[in-house]
Structure 1
């Protein structure tokens, strides 16, 4: 799928209907016993339905004419009994099928969610979050009716159709032929309409996905929208997106409406033919009135499965678009994957080396150009340079969130592309400028760094970064619930909690990407003291624009336009009077002017 914005239609790889069905059936197989029970119950329902017209025929031909009241009472009780059995079997089968369907959907949604978690950063770079949510929630939900109807409609109704057809031909072959004469025309019309309808439903789901993506993006950025009084413009865009969804739905559903109209018309024509020809045969004395009445009842019952199967076919086509969208995601192969036979990363000592590393997010647009450097275990490295120079990309390659386009990234002499991802990343701690907190307690947010951490370890990590004091002033201390993304806390407070989380992980390599940019100077001094203690014996990479925070680093690497143009200590780089010197003096002058 190409990159797309919230208002750009997604490009979905179309799958054959047969392939989609085969993949869907795979999810039904574990529930074959429950499905068999549902089918058995549906056969009971079908059997009771088929018996009713036959008992009616017997009542008319054998008991009404001779005025046998007792026989009529017996027949009536029989009709009531089989209908009660059929009603109970129908309700029980519906309950069991709904239960099974939701279990299947749970499996699909869980499998999809697990797969998405394994996908590389490039997958998320290319897709708005709202459109991914549309697959996991909306598209999976759309399969509910497809699964339930496949068992409760297709198989029973197909058997019902065959059984009624046999009964009709046994009762009177001439009438039976007349009653089905219009079916070939109906089959051609239905198949033609459904081909066109499938394409329309694909468009509808694309538009609905766009709406979902736009809505998610708008509410995520609601503070910006309100701050810049942009509500009017976003409302216009929302109205346009909703209008496209409406138009897409109406365009698709019109085929359904035409289909039902044609089926109703076909049923009407068939009924008229049967009435006319049945009356002719009755006048000739070839059939009894009871037979005609029973035949008409069976003819109505014959068309009911046709309508139900056509309805299922419509459901199938409608939801094939949803299945295609789900399987399209499941078929995405992670660009960052473990090689077959990859080994676990041993306990990291901290040596990091880049060998002729080049990297590009998009083809032929290089972000890093032939980068080379060696870092010894335990060194504290600072990466500085202008925005977009490639600093964050370097740290992302160390954690193997992306693979190099050329060259190798080595940790303790091992190529990171050839080791187990979990064993690599579990020994790293990363704190980003864009702090993310989950909608849970502060304690649990910090515990993400080490899932089995004790409360004492959590508090110790918070104290180390000077987050403990402000946490204890909150209404429930460490048990205080934070809103989505931690919106009830200040930016600085969120960063301190995130920093405690990273430090709790006790990483062998620590990456701080503008981690202290939103902390005031007084707090930063306190945090820096805690950092210095925890960085002892660990390799760390610090990205910072505030040069005063990196003066004591073992080595400063200046990155510009995807290359390391200077490298050395703070004093060494100042003596060079090159890029770093100019950057430092410009910042120093700016601060003096501000003072």
Structure 2
């Protein structure tokens, strides 16, 4: 389903979208029936007007006049009622469809590999999940049914016109091909223009989202003027995209209006001559044809406008389905559901690269016995964080095996595996919610009493209750109301209440204050007790307590042993790292 081709309508894409209406088929049918009735009522009003003129006004028959006016009022009332029902249920159907589609999209994105999010702009994904899906709703509320109703109305009008006067109908049809051609060209141009608009909207959302998120960096490095100029340029491209659609509208609608006026002039000219010549043509029929001609051309103009709406919705649907068609999830083909793992970990010649041509891990092999604490040290880019990402199956390994309790992690269900592993990251992410909900993540199996008991066990209860509203304190977006050390303590408690078999600490104490560090050290001692732990650390105190230290460099394990054993290796990587980084810390 390629975009940008200028193809006016993608039938396969449309059929796929219509499948989302299957649960609401009775509403769909009702809207369709309403569209049919509206087309009948549309013809009925001009017909009653013609009879009123010819049979009541010209003969001056007051009794018939009241009768026909009453019929016109009844027809108008019925038309208003069905117009209301048509609009309401068409919009209702659209909202039901996009609700289901948005749920499907979000559920699909929840299963994506981390690699997908590494390469996808957050603002663009937000655009797909919010504004693009909202645009799809207009297919049903303003596009599909309105177009169908208008086309049916035009067909009924044409048949009725031929029935009453084929000569006047031919006059109307003289101008119709020109309008149809102009409409077709207009639709193709607008399809391309709207694709450009959606691209520019996504670019604008991405830019704004990134700059607002990184506003501290922008201001720290005094990049306000540069980013302001960049924003002006992106905003200008966005404006140009919309101006192009305005240009096409400015050309098409005056042409359509002029064509309608020419058609009415032809009807009045030819019909007037026939009336003057005392032909069978009546004044009522001429007025009726003027009404019918306007009813024929007005839907054409509206169809062009509604087709724009339909095309915008189709472009948006194409983008949303492109994400739904993306196969980027970790294959969850494991059958084993294990509770309370012992926590023994083994990497067997594991090779992996975020990009296929560039390996990050180059044949990594090690064992961690159940209950052991392994510290991983090494320079930036050595592959430390990659090890824990692979253990959680955020990425698929290129070759080798990763075993937990002797079982290949690919044989264990993802839900079971990740439920047994808790991770505390250096950069803690907190949601704009209460401390309690950030700890439990709305897990119904973890009560507030459980959280309070766990907080007391690891020594951070006093810190939490000192905050306004305690456990119900709202930390706002990304936890900005807390310091980095406080956020870290919350993440430790989040890990602890999940009662994991395997604990991973990724540089969890590298950038906190001394007070928070002491609390974190105490919490670390408590939550690592009796469970397998992998610690990526820059602090000597944490490393020295490990049962073994794994030294990594350039994607390989270059040394393995205890702190004392590694210091005895002459010219060793760890000994050098200790002398450069840790010796001053130890002396303090």
Please indicate the TM-score interval, normalised by the length of the shorter structure: over 0.9
SS at match of 2:374: strand
Counterpart residue number, 2:399: 406
Q: Deviations over 1:296-341 (max 9, x none)?
A: 21111122222222222221223322111111111111241213x6
The verdict on how the C-alpha distance between 1:11 and 1:317 changes in structure 2, with shifts beyond 3 A counting, is closer
The verdict on how the C-alpha distance between 1:426 and 1:440 changes in structure 2, with shifts beyond 3 A counting, is same
User: Do the aligned partners of 1:143 and 1:319 also contact (CA within 8 Å) in 2?
Assistant: yes
The verdict on how the C-alpha distance between 1:13 and 1:472 changes in structure 2, with shifts beyond 3 A counting, is farther
Distance 1:225 1:590 in 2: 34
**TM-aligned CA deviation for residue 579 of structure 1:** 0.4
What RMSD, in angstroms, separates the aligned Cα atoms of the two structures? 2.3
Structure-to-structure mapping, 1:35-114, within 5 angstroms: 35-114=28-107
TM-score (norm 1): 0.93
Counterpart residue number, 1:558: 551
Distance 2:88 2:138 in 1: 13
Residue from 470, 489, 501 that aligns with 1:477: 470
SS at match of 1:545: coil
**TM-aligned CA deviation for residue 216 of structure 1:** 0.9
User: Do the aligned partners of 2:38 and 2:149 also contact (CA within 8 Å) in 1?
Assistant: no
Distance 2:426 2:60 in 1: 92
Counterpart residue number, 1:190: 183
Query: Structure 1: which 4+ aligned runs deviate by more than 6 Å?
Result: 10-16
**TM-aligned CA deviation for residue 163 of structure 1:** 0.9
Structure-to-structure mapping, 1:139-218, within 5 angstroms: 139-218=132-211
Distance 2:519 2:62 in 1: 100
SS at match of 1:362: coil
Counterpart residue number, 1:7: none
Distance 2:122 2:16 in 1: 26
Structure-to-structure mapping, 1:353-432, within 5 angstroms: 353-432=346-425
User: Do the aligned partners of 1:461 and 1:501 also contact (CA within 8 Å) in 2?
Assistant: no
SS at match of 1:370: strand
> Can you give the 5+ residue segments of structure 1 that lack an aligned partner in the other structure?
1-9
Distance 1:282 1:418 in 2: 88
TM-score (norm 2): 0.94
Distance 1:21 1:121 in 2: 31
**TM-aligned CA deviation for residue 246 of structure 1:** 0.5
Q: Deviations over 1:235-281 (max 9, x none)?
A: 22221221111011112332233232332233233333333332343
SS at match of 1:181: helix
Distance 1:246 1:254 in 2: 12
Q: Is residue 137 from structure 1 mapped to residue 130 from structure 2 by the alignment? A: yes
Q: Is residue 296 from structure 1 mapped to residue 290 from structure 2 by the alignment? A: yes
Q: Deviations over 1:209-246 (max 9, x none)?
A: 11111111111122222333332222222212211110
**TM-aligned CA deviation for residue 441 of structure 1:** 0.9
Counterpart residue number, 1:316: 310
Distance 2:27 2:505 in 1: 53
Number of residue pairs the alignment of both structures matches: 584
> Can you give the 5+ residue segments of structure 2 that lack an aligned partner in the other structure?
none
Structure-to-structure mapping, 1:320-359, within 5 angstroms: 320-339=314-333, 342-345=335-338, 347-359=340-352
Residue from 444, 451, 455 that aligns with 1:458: 451
Q: Is residue 500 from structure 1 mapped to residue 498 from structure 2 by the alignment? A: no
